[in-house]
Structure 1
Amino acid sequence: MAIPRIAVGSPAEAGHPDTLKAALAEFISMLIFVFAGEGSGMAFSKLTDGGAATPAGLVAAALSHGLALFVAVSVGANISGGHVNPAVTFGLFLGGKISLAKSVIYWIAQCLGAVVACLLLNFSTGGLPTSAFALSSGVGVWNAVVFEIVMTFGLVYTVYATAVDPKKGDIGIIAPLAIGFIVGANILAGGAFDGASMNPAVSFGPAVVSWTWDNHWIYWLGPFVGAGIASLIYHIVFIQPENYEELPSSAR
Protein backbone atom coordinates (compact mmCIF):
# COMPACT_ATOMS: atom_id res chain seq x y z
CA MET A 1 0.00 0.00 0.00
CA ALA A 2 1.23 3.51 -0.82
CA ILE A 3 1.06 6.01 2.01
CA PRO A 4 0.95 9.63 0.78
CA ARG A 5 3.78 11.85 1.97
CA ILE A 6 2.60 15.41 2.29
CA ALA A 7 4.88 18.40 1.78
CA VAL A 8 4.67 21.73 3.58
CA GLY A 9 6.74 23.77 1.12
CA SER A 10 8.28 27.15 1.79
CA PRO A 11 7.59 30.87 1.33
CA ALA A 12 10.09 30.84 -1.52
CA GLU A 13 8.00 28.27 -3.36
CA ALA A 14 4.83 30.30 -2.79
CA GLY A 15 6.42 33.31 -4.48
CA HIS A 16 8.13 31.40 -7.30
CA PRO A 17 7.19 32.60 -10.83
CA ASP A 18 5.94 29.14 -11.79
CA THR A 19 3.65 29.08 -8.75
CA LEU A 20 2.29 32.52 -9.57
CA LYS A 21 1.69 31.51 -13.20
CA ALA A 22 -0.16 28.42 -12.01
CA ALA A 23 -2.22 30.55 -9.60
CA LEU A 24 -3.13 32.90 -12.44
CA ALA A 25 -4.25 29.90 -14.49
CA GLU A 26 -6.42 28.74 -11.58
CA PHE A 27 -7.89 32.24 -11.24
CA ILE A 28 -8.78 32.37 -14.95
CA SER A 29 -10.16 28.82 -15.02
CA MET A 30 -12.32 29.52 -11.98
CA LEU A 31 -13.55 32.78 -13.47
CA ILE A 32 -14.54 30.95 -16.67
CA PHE A 33 -16.28 28.18 -14.72
CA VAL A 34 -18.22 30.38 -12.30
CA PHE A 35 -19.17 32.98 -14.90
CA ALA A 36 -20.66 30.30 -17.16
CA GLY A 37 -22.21 28.17 -14.39
CA GLU A 38 -23.63 30.94 -12.22
CA GLY A 39 -24.50 33.02 -15.27
CA SER A 40 -26.52 30.23 -16.84
CA GLY A 41 -28.62 29.97 -13.69
CA MET A 42 -29.21 33.72 -13.67
CA ALA A 43 -30.14 33.67 -17.37
CA PHE A 44 -32.54 30.76 -16.93
CA SER A 45 -34.19 32.49 -13.97
CA LYS A 46 -34.63 35.69 -15.99
CA LEU A 47 -36.04 33.90 -19.03
CA THR A 48 -38.50 31.88 -16.97
CA ASP A 49 -39.44 34.52 -14.39
CA GLY A 50 -37.70 32.78 -11.52
CA GLY A 51 -38.04 29.23 -12.81
CA ALA A 52 -34.47 28.17 -12.10
CA ALA A 53 -35.69 25.95 -9.24
CA THR A 54 -37.54 23.61 -11.59
CA PRO A 55 -36.63 20.26 -13.21
CA ALA A 56 -35.67 22.09 -16.40
CA GLY A 57 -33.59 24.55 -14.41
CA LEU A 58 -31.79 21.69 -12.67
CA VAL A 59 -30.96 20.05 -15.99
CA ALA A 60 -29.74 23.38 -17.36
CA ALA A 61 -27.51 23.88 -14.29
CA ALA A 62 -26.05 20.39 -14.61
CA LEU A 63 -25.35 20.84 -18.31
CA SER A 64 -23.82 24.31 -18.01
CA HIS A 65 -21.62 23.41 -15.04
CA GLY A 66 -20.48 20.15 -16.62
CA LEU A 67 -19.53 21.80 -19.91
CA ALA A 68 -17.91 24.81 -18.26
CA LEU A 69 -15.86 22.62 -15.92
CA PHE A 70 -14.70 20.46 -18.83
CA VAL A 71 -13.34 23.59 -20.50
CA ALA A 72 -11.94 25.12 -17.30
CA VAL A 73 -10.03 21.95 -16.38
CA SER A 74 -8.78 21.49 -19.95
CA VAL A 75 -7.37 25.01 -20.34
CA GLY A 76 -5.61 24.90 -16.96
CA ALA A 77 -4.34 21.32 -17.04
CA ASN A 78 -0.95 22.02 -18.63
CA ILE A 79 -0.22 25.04 -16.41
CA SER A 80 -1.66 24.43 -12.94
CA GLY A 81 -3.06 20.92 -13.21
CA GLY A 82 -6.57 22.31 -13.72
CA HIS A 83 -7.78 21.91 -10.14
CA VAL A 84 -10.51 24.60 -10.37
CA ASN A 85 -11.64 23.64 -6.86
CA PRO A 86 -10.09 24.15 -3.39
CA ALA A 87 -11.33 20.70 -2.39
CA VAL A 88 -9.50 19.09 -5.31
CA THR A 89 -6.36 21.00 -4.33
CA PHE A 90 -6.78 19.75 -0.76
CA GLY A 91 -7.17 16.17 -1.96
CA LEU A 92 -4.00 16.45 -4.05
CA PHE A 93 -2.16 18.00 -1.09
CA LEU A 94 -3.07 15.01 1.08
CA GLY A 95 -1.85 12.78 -1.75
CA GLY A 96 1.55 14.47 -1.82
CA LYS A 97 0.99 15.98 -5.26
CA ILE A 98 1.18 19.63 -4.21
CA SER A 99 2.74 21.34 -1.19
CA LEU A 100 0.78 23.20 1.45
CA ALA A 101 2.46 26.49 0.52
CA LYS A 102 1.41 26.13 -3.11
CA SER A 103 -2.05 24.92 -2.09
CA VAL A 104 -2.69 28.12 -0.14
CA ILE A 105 -1.79 30.21 -3.20
CA TYR A 106 -4.15 28.10 -5.29
CA TRP A 107 -6.97 28.53 -2.75
CA ILE A 108 -6.58 32.30 -2.77
CA ALA A 109 -6.55 32.41 -6.59
CA GLN A 110 -9.58 30.12 -6.87
CA CYS A 111 -11.65 32.13 -4.39
CA LEU A 112 -10.69 35.42 -6.05
CA GLY A 113 -11.63 34.02 -9.45
CA ALA A 114 -15.09 33.09 -8.16
CA VAL A 115 -15.62 36.50 -6.54
CA VAL A 116 -14.54 38.39 -9.67
CA ALA A 117 -16.81 36.24 -11.85
CA CYS A 118 -19.79 37.04 -9.62
CA LEU A 119 -18.94 40.74 -9.56
CA LEU A 120 -18.77 40.75 -13.36
CA LEU A 121 -22.11 38.94 -13.57
CA ASN A 122 -23.72 41.36 -11.13
CA PHE A 123 -22.46 44.34 -13.11
CA SER A 124 -23.10 43.04 -16.62
CA THR A 125 -26.68 41.93 -15.82
CA GLY A 126 -27.62 45.31 -14.43
CA GLY A 127 -27.55 44.25 -10.80
CA LEU A 128 -29.21 40.82 -10.89
CA PRO A 129 -28.34 38.91 -7.71
CA THR A 130 -25.81 36.12 -7.65
CA SER A 131 -27.65 33.77 -5.33
CA ALA A 132 -25.70 32.12 -2.54
CA PHE A 133 -26.07 28.38 -2.00
CA ALA A 134 -28.89 27.47 0.37
CA LEU A 135 -30.65 24.43 1.77
CA SER A 136 -34.03 23.37 0.45
CA SER A 137 -37.01 23.06 2.75
CA GLY A 138 -36.77 19.96 4.92
CA VAL A 139 -33.02 19.52 4.43
CA GLY A 140 -31.02 19.80 7.65
CA VAL A 141 -27.45 21.02 7.89
CA TRP A 142 -26.02 17.54 8.50
CA ASN A 143 -28.07 16.13 5.65
CA ALA A 144 -26.39 18.72 3.44
CA VAL A 145 -22.95 17.96 4.88
CA VAL A 146 -23.37 14.29 3.96
CA PHE A 147 -24.53 15.26 0.48
CA GLU A 148 -21.44 17.42 -0.01
CA ILE A 149 -19.13 14.73 1.37
CA VAL A 150 -20.48 12.03 -0.93
CA MET A 151 -20.63 14.20 -4.05
CA THR A 152 -17.14 15.60 -3.54
CA PHE A 153 -15.84 12.12 -2.81
CA GLY A 154 -17.10 11.07 -6.24
CA LEU A 155 -15.52 14.11 -7.86
CA VAL A 156 -12.07 13.75 -6.27
CA TYR A 157 -12.07 9.97 -6.75
CA THR A 158 -12.70 10.63 -10.44
CA VAL A 159 -9.84 13.15 -10.51
CA TYR A 160 -7.47 10.59 -9.01
CA ALA A 161 -8.59 7.75 -11.28
CA THR A 162 -8.43 9.72 -14.54
CA ALA A 163 -5.79 12.40 -13.97
CA VAL A 164 -3.50 11.43 -11.07
CA ASP A 165 -3.05 7.65 -10.98
CA PRO A 166 0.34 6.86 -12.57
CA LYS A 167 -1.21 3.78 -14.22
CA LYS A 168 -3.77 5.83 -16.12
CA GLY A 169 -1.70 6.09 -19.32
CA ASP A 170 -2.33 8.70 -21.97
CA ILE A 171 -6.08 9.24 -21.93
CA GLY A 172 -6.12 12.76 -23.40
CA ILE A 173 -9.34 14.67 -22.85
CA ILE A 174 -11.01 11.81 -20.96
CA ALA A 175 -9.98 13.24 -17.57
CA PRO A 176 -11.56 16.71 -17.92
CA LEU A 177 -14.55 15.15 -19.67
CA ALA A 178 -15.10 12.65 -16.83
CA ILE A 179 -14.66 15.41 -14.24
CA GLY A 180 -17.25 17.56 -16.00
CA PHE A 181 -19.64 14.60 -16.27
CA ILE A 182 -19.45 13.66 -12.57
CA VAL A 183 -20.12 17.26 -11.52
CA GLY A 184 -23.10 17.47 -13.87
CA ALA A 185 -24.45 14.14 -12.61
CA ASN A 186 -24.01 15.19 -8.97
CA ILE A 187 -25.91 18.41 -9.61
CA LEU A 188 -28.81 16.33 -10.91
CA ALA A 189 -28.60 14.20 -7.74
CA GLY A 190 -28.12 16.92 -5.11
CA GLY A 191 -29.00 20.21 -6.70
CA ALA A 192 -32.59 20.13 -5.45
CA PHE A 193 -31.44 19.59 -1.85
CA ASP A 194 -28.46 21.85 -1.13
CA GLY A 195 -27.43 23.25 -4.51
CA ALA A 196 -24.70 20.62 -5.02
CA SER A 197 -21.63 22.79 -4.64
CA MET A 198 -18.73 20.30 -4.26
CA ASN A 199 -16.53 23.38 -4.55
CA PRO A 200 -15.94 25.87 -1.72
CA ALA A 201 -14.88 28.63 -4.11
CA VAL A 202 -18.08 28.28 -6.14
CA SER A 203 -20.02 28.82 -2.91
CA PHE A 204 -17.71 31.59 -1.71
CA GLY A 205 -18.07 33.88 -4.75
CA PRO A 206 -21.87 34.34 -4.63
CA ALA A 207 -21.79 34.52 -0.82
CA VAL A 208 -19.34 37.44 -0.93
CA VAL A 209 -21.18 39.38 -3.64
CA SER A 210 -24.65 38.83 -2.10
CA TRP A 211 -23.22 38.93 1.44
CA THR A 212 -25.25 35.89 2.44
CA TRP A 213 -23.50 33.50 4.81
CA ASP A 214 -26.30 31.26 6.09
CA ASN A 215 -24.89 27.74 6.57
CA HIS A 216 -21.90 28.66 4.44
CA TRP A 217 -19.62 26.42 6.52
CA ILE A 218 -21.36 23.37 5.05
CA TYR A 219 -19.87 24.12 1.65
CA TRP A 220 -16.34 24.06 3.06
CA LEU A 221 -16.56 21.22 5.57
CA GLY A 222 -18.38 18.75 3.32
CA PRO A 223 -16.16 19.13 0.23
CA PHE A 224 -12.91 19.07 2.23
CA VAL A 225 -13.94 15.93 4.13
CA GLY A 226 -15.10 14.20 0.95
CA ALA A 227 -11.90 15.15 -0.87
CA GLY A 228 -9.74 13.92 1.99
CA ILE A 229 -11.51 10.55 2.17
CA ALA A 230 -11.27 10.02 -1.59
CA SER A 231 -7.58 10.94 -1.65
CA LEU A 232 -6.60 8.64 1.19
CA ILE A 233 -8.68 5.69 -0.02
CA TYR A 234 -7.33 5.92 -3.56
CA HIS A 235 -3.74 6.13 -2.35
CA ILE A 236 -3.89 3.45 0.30
CA VAL A 237 -5.91 0.93 -1.71
CA PHE A 238 -5.13 1.50 -5.38
CA ILE A 239 -1.75 3.20 -5.82
CA GLN A 240 1.14 0.74 -5.55
CA PRO A 241 4.41 1.82 -3.91
CA GLU A 242 6.46 1.18 -7.05
CA ASN A 243 4.24 3.57 -9.01
CA TYR A 244 4.08 6.30 -6.38
CA GLU A 245 5.33 9.66 -7.64
CA GLU A 246 6.47 12.06 -4.94
CA LEU A 247 6.93 15.78 -5.27
CA PRO A 248 10.48 16.71 -6.29
CA SER A 249 12.69 17.54 -3.32
CA SER A 250 12.86 21.19 -4.41
CA ALA A 251 9.11 21.50 -3.78
CA ARG A 252 9.33 20.31 -0.17
Structure 2
Amino acid sequence: MRKMYTLELESDPLVEQRRVGDHEKKQNPTTLNSILSPKELFSLEVWRASLAELLGTAVLVFAMDTIVISSYETQTNMPHLIMSFLIGVTITVLLLATFPISGGHINPVISLAAALSGVISLSRAVVYILAQCVGGVLGALALQAVVNTNIEQTFSLGGCTLTIVVPSATGPSVIGLRTIQALWLEIICTFVFLFGSIWIAFDKRQARHLGRVVVCSIIGVVVGLIVFISTTVTSAKGYAGVGMNPARCLGPALIRGGHLWNGHWVFWAGPAIACGAFALYTKLIPSELLHN
Protein backbone atom coordinates (compact mmCIF):
# COMPACT_ATOMS: atom_id res chain seq x y z
CA MET A 1 0.00 0.00 0.00
CA ARG A 2 1.39 3.42 -0.91
CA LYS A 3 2.42 5.46 2.12
CA MET A 4 0.89 8.86 2.68
CA TYR A 5 2.61 11.83 4.27
CA THR A 6 -0.55 12.88 6.01
CA LEU A 7 -1.41 12.54 9.67
CA GLU A 8 -2.94 9.24 10.68
CA LEU A 9 -6.50 9.93 11.80
CA GLU A 10 -7.42 6.29 12.22
CA SER A 11 -6.95 4.55 15.57
CA ASP A 12 -3.98 2.25 14.97
CA PRO A 13 -1.69 1.61 17.96
CA LEU A 14 0.97 0.11 15.71
CA VAL A 15 1.50 3.36 13.85
CA GLU A 16 4.10 5.35 15.78
CA GLN A 17 5.40 7.81 13.21
CA ARG A 18 4.00 10.31 10.74
CA ARG A 19 4.41 9.24 7.14
CA VAL A 20 5.91 11.83 4.82
CA GLY A 21 6.00 10.98 1.12
CA ASP A 22 7.81 7.68 0.70
CA HIS A 23 9.65 7.83 3.99
CA GLU A 24 8.77 8.22 7.65
CA LYS A 25 9.66 11.19 9.75
CA LYS A 26 10.40 10.56 13.43
CA GLN A 27 10.72 14.12 14.69
CA ASN A 28 11.00 17.75 13.63
CA PRO A 29 13.56 18.27 10.84
CA THR A 30 16.90 19.46 12.19
CA THR A 31 18.94 19.99 9.03
CA LEU A 32 18.44 22.29 6.06
CA ASN A 33 18.22 19.33 3.71
CA SER A 34 15.53 17.62 5.77
CA ILE A 35 13.60 20.89 6.08
CA LEU A 36 13.68 21.57 2.34
CA SER A 37 13.60 17.91 1.27
CA PRO A 38 14.36 18.84 -2.38
CA LYS A 39 14.05 15.23 -3.52
CA GLU A 40 10.29 15.53 -3.04
CA LEU A 41 10.24 17.85 -6.05
CA PHE A 42 10.95 14.75 -8.12
CA SER A 43 8.52 12.49 -6.29
CA LEU A 44 5.60 11.20 -8.33
CA GLU A 45 3.56 10.90 -5.14
CA VAL A 46 3.98 14.62 -4.42
CA TRP A 47 2.83 15.62 -7.89
CA ARG A 48 -0.14 13.28 -7.72
CA ALA A 49 -1.06 14.83 -4.40
CA SER A 50 -0.65 18.32 -5.87
CA LEU A 51 -3.15 17.40 -8.60
CA ALA A 52 -5.67 16.61 -5.88
CA GLU A 53 -4.89 19.99 -4.31
CA LEU A 54 -5.37 21.73 -7.65
CA LEU A 55 -8.73 20.11 -8.34
CA GLY A 56 -9.89 20.46 -4.75
CA THR A 57 -9.05 24.17 -4.68
CA ALA A 58 -10.72 24.72 -8.07
CA VAL A 59 -13.93 23.15 -6.79
CA LEU A 60 -13.62 25.09 -3.54
CA VAL A 61 -13.30 28.46 -5.30
CA PHE A 62 -16.13 27.69 -7.71
CA ALA A 63 -18.40 26.56 -4.87
CA MET A 64 -17.52 29.32 -2.39
CA ASP A 65 -17.84 32.14 -4.90
CA THR A 66 -21.15 30.69 -6.09
CA ILE A 67 -22.35 30.56 -2.49
CA VAL A 68 -21.31 34.18 -1.90
CA ILE A 69 -23.10 35.38 -5.04
CA SER A 70 -26.28 33.36 -4.50
CA SER A 71 -26.53 34.31 -0.81
CA TYR A 72 -26.65 38.01 -1.62
CA GLU A 73 -28.33 37.84 -5.04
CA THR A 74 -31.39 36.03 -3.66
CA GLN A 75 -31.78 38.75 -1.01
CA THR A 76 -32.55 36.36 1.84
CA ASN A 77 -33.18 37.66 5.36
CA MET A 78 -29.98 36.16 6.77
CA PRO A 79 -27.44 36.02 3.91
CA HIS A 80 -24.41 35.99 6.23
CA LEU A 81 -25.70 33.03 8.23
CA ILE A 82 -26.70 30.99 5.17
CA MET A 83 -23.43 31.76 3.42
CA SER A 84 -21.33 30.80 6.44
CA PHE A 85 -23.20 27.52 6.93
CA LEU A 86 -22.86 26.49 3.28
CA ILE A 87 -19.17 27.41 3.22
CA GLY A 88 -18.56 25.28 6.31
CA VAL A 89 -20.31 22.29 4.75
CA THR A 90 -18.44 22.73 1.46
CA ILE A 91 -15.05 22.83 3.15
CA THR A 92 -15.84 19.76 5.25
CA VAL A 93 -16.83 17.73 2.18
CA LEU A 94 -13.80 18.80 0.14
CA LEU A 95 -11.39 18.09 3.00
CA LEU A 96 -12.80 14.59 3.29
CA ALA A 97 -12.52 14.12 -0.48
CA THR A 98 -8.89 15.24 -0.78
CA PHE A 99 -7.53 14.00 2.54
CA PRO A 100 -6.72 10.42 1.45
CA ILE A 101 -4.67 11.71 -1.50
CA SER A 102 -2.92 14.88 -0.38
CA GLY A 103 -3.82 15.40 3.26
CA GLY A 104 -6.64 17.79 2.44
CA HIS A 105 -5.05 21.24 2.47
CA ILE A 106 -6.78 23.09 -0.42
CA ASN A 107 -5.48 26.30 1.14
CA PRO A 108 -1.99 27.89 1.03
CA VAL A 109 -2.45 28.86 4.68
CA ILE A 110 -2.62 25.22 5.77
CA SER A 111 0.31 24.20 3.58
CA LEU A 112 2.51 27.05 4.83
CA ALA A 113 1.57 26.44 8.46
CA ALA A 114 2.29 22.72 8.03
CA ALA A 115 5.72 23.46 6.53
CA LEU A 116 6.68 26.01 9.19
CA SER A 117 5.53 23.62 11.91
CA GLY A 118 7.59 20.76 10.49
CA VAL A 119 4.63 18.61 9.45
CA ILE A 120 5.58 18.63 5.75
CA SER A 121 8.69 19.75 3.87
CA LEU A 122 9.05 23.19 2.33
CA SER A 123 9.40 21.60 -1.10
CA ARG A 124 6.06 19.86 -0.76
CA ALA A 125 4.49 23.05 0.55
CA VAL A 126 5.73 25.04 -2.46
CA VAL A 127 4.33 22.48 -4.90
CA TYR A 128 1.02 22.43 -3.05
CA ILE A 129 0.72 26.23 -2.92
CA LEU A 130 1.44 26.56 -6.64
CA ALA A 131 -1.17 23.90 -7.39
CA GLN A 132 -3.69 25.64 -5.14
CA CYS A 133 -3.14 28.98 -6.87
CA VAL A 134 -3.64 27.40 -10.29
CA GLY A 135 -6.75 25.69 -8.95
CA GLY A 136 -8.07 29.01 -7.69
CA VAL A 137 -7.72 30.53 -11.15
CA LEU A 138 -9.40 27.54 -12.81
CA GLY A 139 -12.28 27.70 -10.35
CA ALA A 140 -12.81 31.40 -11.06
CA LEU A 141 -12.65 30.75 -14.81
CA ALA A 142 -15.28 28.03 -14.50
CA LEU A 143 -17.56 30.37 -12.56
CA GLN A 144 -17.11 33.19 -15.06
CA ALA A 145 -18.08 30.80 -17.86
CA VAL A 146 -21.47 30.01 -16.34
CA VAL A 147 -22.48 33.14 -14.43
CA ASN A 148 -24.49 36.01 -15.87
CA THR A 149 -22.36 39.00 -16.88
CA ASN A 150 -24.42 41.45 -14.84
CA ILE A 151 -24.18 39.27 -11.74
CA GLU A 152 -20.44 38.85 -12.28
CA GLN A 153 -20.01 42.61 -12.37
CA THR A 154 -22.36 43.32 -9.46
CA PHE A 155 -20.80 40.78 -7.10
CA SER A 156 -17.21 40.95 -8.40
CA LEU A 157 -17.28 37.24 -9.22
CA GLY A 158 -17.62 36.53 -5.51
CA GLY A 159 -14.03 37.63 -4.95
CA CYS A 160 -12.25 39.16 -1.95
CA THR A 161 -12.89 42.90 -1.75
CA LEU A 162 -11.99 45.58 0.76
CA THR A 163 -13.90 48.40 -0.90
CA ILE A 164 -16.28 49.13 -3.75
CA VAL A 165 -17.08 52.30 -5.67
CA VAL A 166 -20.70 53.46 -5.52
CA PRO A 167 -22.41 56.50 -7.06
CA SER A 168 -23.35 59.38 -4.77
CA ALA A 169 -24.67 62.91 -5.01
CA THR A 170 -21.11 64.27 -5.17
CA GLY A 171 -19.84 61.63 -7.58
CA PRO A 172 -18.32 58.17 -7.20
CA SER A 173 -17.66 57.26 -3.58
CA VAL A 174 -15.51 54.47 -2.12
CA ILE A 175 -17.04 52.46 0.72
CA GLY A 176 -15.68 49.48 2.60
CA LEU A 177 -13.06 48.69 5.20
CA ARG A 178 -9.76 50.46 5.81
CA THR A 179 -6.69 48.49 4.81
CA ILE A 180 -5.19 48.36 8.29
CA GLN A 181 -8.47 47.05 9.72
CA ALA A 182 -8.67 44.37 7.06
CA LEU A 183 -5.05 43.37 7.69
CA TRP A 184 -5.64 42.93 11.40
CA LEU A 185 -8.78 40.91 10.71
CA GLU A 186 -6.85 38.60 8.38
CA ILE A 187 -4.09 38.10 10.94
CA ILE A 188 -6.41 37.48 13.89
CA CYS A 189 -8.96 35.34 12.07
CA THR A 190 -6.33 33.22 10.33
CA PHE A 191 -4.52 32.60 13.61
CA VAL A 192 -7.80 31.65 15.29
CA PHE A 193 -8.50 29.32 12.36
CA LEU A 194 -5.12 27.63 12.74
CA PHE A 195 -5.22 27.49 16.52
CA GLY A 196 -8.85 26.42 16.79
CA SER A 197 -9.02 23.76 14.11
CA ILE A 198 -5.82 23.00 12.19
CA TRP A 199 -4.00 22.49 15.48
CA ILE A 200 -6.26 19.51 16.10
CA ALA A 201 -5.14 17.92 12.82
CA PHE A 202 -1.47 18.60 13.61
CA ASP A 203 -1.89 17.08 17.08
CA LYS A 204 -1.53 13.46 16.05
CA ARG A 205 -2.92 11.83 19.17
CA GLN A 206 -5.98 14.05 19.29
CA ALA A 207 -6.59 13.61 15.56
CA ARG A 208 -6.50 9.82 15.90
CA HIS A 209 -8.86 9.92 18.85
CA LEU A 210 -11.44 12.14 17.12
CA GLY A 211 -11.23 10.54 13.68
CA ARG A 212 -11.03 11.98 10.18
CA VAL A 213 -14.69 12.97 9.82
CA VAL A 214 -14.80 14.83 13.13
CA VAL A 215 -11.53 16.69 12.46
CA CYS A 216 -12.66 17.79 8.99
CA SER A 217 -16.04 18.82 10.39
CA ILE A 218 -14.40 20.90 13.11
CA ILE A 219 -12.32 22.72 10.49
CA GLY A 220 -15.45 23.40 8.43
CA VAL A 221 -17.38 24.69 11.44
CA VAL A 222 -14.54 26.98 12.55
CA VAL A 223 -14.21 28.46 9.05
CA GLY A 224 -17.96 29.02 8.84
CA LEU A 225 -18.03 30.76 12.23
CA ILE A 226 -15.10 33.01 11.36
CA VAL A 227 -16.67 33.99 8.02
CA PHE A 228 -19.94 34.80 9.80
CA ILE A 229 -18.22 36.87 12.48
CA SER A 230 -16.03 38.80 10.04
CA THR A 231 -18.94 39.73 7.77
CA THR A 232 -21.22 40.82 10.62
CA VAL A 233 -18.90 42.45 13.15
CA THR A 234 -17.58 44.98 10.62
CA SER A 235 -20.95 45.80 9.02
CA ALA A 236 -18.98 47.45 6.23
CA LYS A 237 -20.60 47.37 2.81
CA GLY A 238 -18.04 46.62 0.16
CA TYR A 239 -15.98 44.38 2.43
CA ALA A 240 -16.38 40.72 1.50
CA GLY A 241 -15.09 39.36 4.81
CA VAL A 242 -11.84 37.62 5.68
CA GLY A 243 -10.20 35.57 2.97
CA MET A 244 -8.03 33.15 5.01
CA ASN A 245 -7.25 31.50 1.68
CA PRO A 246 -5.04 33.50 -0.71
CA ALA A 247 -5.74 31.09 -3.57
CA ARG A 248 -9.46 31.83 -3.34
CA CYS A 249 -8.79 35.56 -3.49
CA LEU A 250 -6.24 35.25 -6.30
CA GLY A 251 -8.53 33.44 -8.74
CA PRO A 252 -11.27 36.08 -9.08
CA ALA A 253 -8.68 38.90 -8.95
CA LEU A 254 -6.81 37.50 -11.95
CA ILE A 255 -9.97 36.72 -13.91
CA ARG A 256 -12.12 39.72 -13.00
CA GLY A 257 -9.42 42.27 -12.14
CA GLY A 258 -10.38 45.86 -11.41
CA HIS A 259 -11.00 46.81 -7.79
CA LEU A 260 -10.35 43.22 -6.68
CA TRP A 261 -6.67 44.18 -6.78
CA ASN A 262 -7.23 47.06 -4.35
CA GLY A 263 -5.57 45.92 -1.15
CA HIS A 264 -5.19 42.39 -2.52
CA TRP A 265 -1.85 42.09 -0.73
CA VAL A 266 -3.75 42.07 2.58
CA PHE A 267 -5.16 38.63 1.78
CA TRP A 268 -1.60 37.32 1.44
CA ALA A 269 0.26 39.29 4.10
CA GLY A 270 -2.28 38.72 6.86
CA PRO A 271 -2.37 34.91 6.58
CA ALA A 272 1.42 34.76 6.16
CA ILE A 273 1.95 36.69 9.40
CA ALA A 274 -0.58 34.48 11.16
CA CYS A 275 1.19 31.34 9.91
CA GLY A 276 4.48 32.65 11.27
CA ALA A 277 2.90 33.35 14.66
CA PHE A 278 1.27 29.92 14.71
CA ALA A 279 4.54 28.19 13.81
CA LEU A 280 6.27 30.06 16.63
CA TYR A 281 3.56 28.89 18.99
CA THR A 282 4.04 25.26 17.93
CA LYS A 283 7.76 25.55 18.71
CA LEU A 284 6.85 26.36 22.31
CA ILE A 285 4.88 23.13 22.62
CA PRO A 286 6.70 19.90 23.56
CA SER A 287 7.40 18.02 20.34
CA GLU A 288 5.83 14.82 21.63
CA LEU A 289 2.43 16.54 21.71
CA LEU A 290 2.67 17.51 18.07
CA HIS A 291 4.46 14.54 16.58
CA ASN A 292 3.67 11.42 18.64
Q: TM-score, normalised by structure 1?
A: 0.86
Alignment of 1:18 onto 2:54: no
Q: Within 2, Cα distance between the matches of 1:19 and 1:93?
A: 14
CA distance in structure 2 between the aligned counterparts of 1:4 and 1:156, rounded to whole angstroms: 21
The CA deviation at 1:234 is: 3.1
Report the more deviating stretch, 56-65 or 20-29.
Answer: 56-65
Partner of 2:103: 81
Q: Which moved more, 1:23-32 or 1:133-142?
A: 133-142
Find the aligned partners of 1:119 and 1:34 in 2 and give their Cα distance: 10
| Cα deviation, residue 120, structure 1 | 0.8
TM-superposed CA distance for 1:39, in Å, is 0.6
Q: Which amino acid aligns with 2:82?
A: A
Ranges in structure 1 where 5+ consecutive residues have no aligned partner:
247-252
Q: d(CA) in 1 for partners of 2:71 and 2:96?
A: 26
Q: What residue in structure 1 maps to residue 7 of structure 2?
A: none
Question: Residues of 2 paired with 1:243 and 1:151: CA distance?
Answer: 24
Paired AA for residue 226 in structure 2: N
Q: Tell me if structure 1 keeps the 8 A contact 2:28–2:118.
A: no
Q: Take 2:216 and 2:97, find their aligned partners in 1: how far apart are those partners?
A: 10
1:99 aligns with 2:121: yes
**Pairwise CA RMSD:** 2.2
Q: How does 1:13-162 map to 2 (within 5 A)?
A: 13-48=40-75, 56-127=78-149, 128-129=151-152, 130-135=157-162, 137=175, 139-162=177-200
Q: For the Cα contact (< 8 Å) 1:152–1:198, is it kept in 2?
A: yes
CA deviations on 1:225-248 (whole Å, 9 max, x unpaired) are: 1122123213413xx2345539xx
Select which of 249, 253, 268 maps to 1:220. Answer: 268
Please say if residues 36 and 123 of structure 2, whose CA atoms lie closer than 8 Å, have aligned partners that are also in contact: yes
Q: Which residue of 1 aligns with 2:214?
A: 174
Deviation at 1:119, TM superposition (A): 0.9
Cα distance between partner residues in 2 of 1:139 and 1:124: 30
Distance 1:106 1:8, change over 3 A: same
The match for 1:190 is 230
Equivalent-residue separation in structure 2 for 1:231 and 1:158 (angstroms): 14
Distance change (3 Å), C-alpha of 1:124 and 1:198:
same
The verdict on how the C-alpha distance between 1:152 and 1:105 changes in structure 2, with shifts beyond 3 A counting, is same
* Identity fraction in percent: 27
**Within 1, Cα distance between the matches of 2:68 and 2:177?**
21
Q: Say which structure, 1 or 2, has more relative contact order (CA 8 Å, 6+ apart).
A: 1
SS in 2 for 1:44: helix
Conserved? CA contact 2:88–2:221, under 8 Å: yes
* Larger strand percent: 2
Displaced runs of 4+ in structure 1, greater than 6 A? none
Report the CA distance between 1:191 and its aligned residue: 2.2
CA contact (8 A) 1:119 1:209 kept: yes
CA offset digits 1:163-221 (Å, max 9, x no partner): 11123133121111111111111111112544111111111111111113110000001
When residues 79 and 3 of structure 1 are mapped into structure 2, their CA distance, relative to the original with a 3 A threshold, is: closer
SS at match of 2:244: coil
| Distance change in 2, residues 1:166/1:188 (3 Å) | same
SS in 2 for 1:37: helix
- Could you give the per-residue CA deviations for residues 144-169 of structure 1, whole angstroms, max 9, x where no partner exists? 11101111111111344321112313
User: TM-score scaled by structure 2?
Assistant: 0.74
Instruction: Report the counterpart of residue 208 of structure 1 in structure 2.
Output: 254
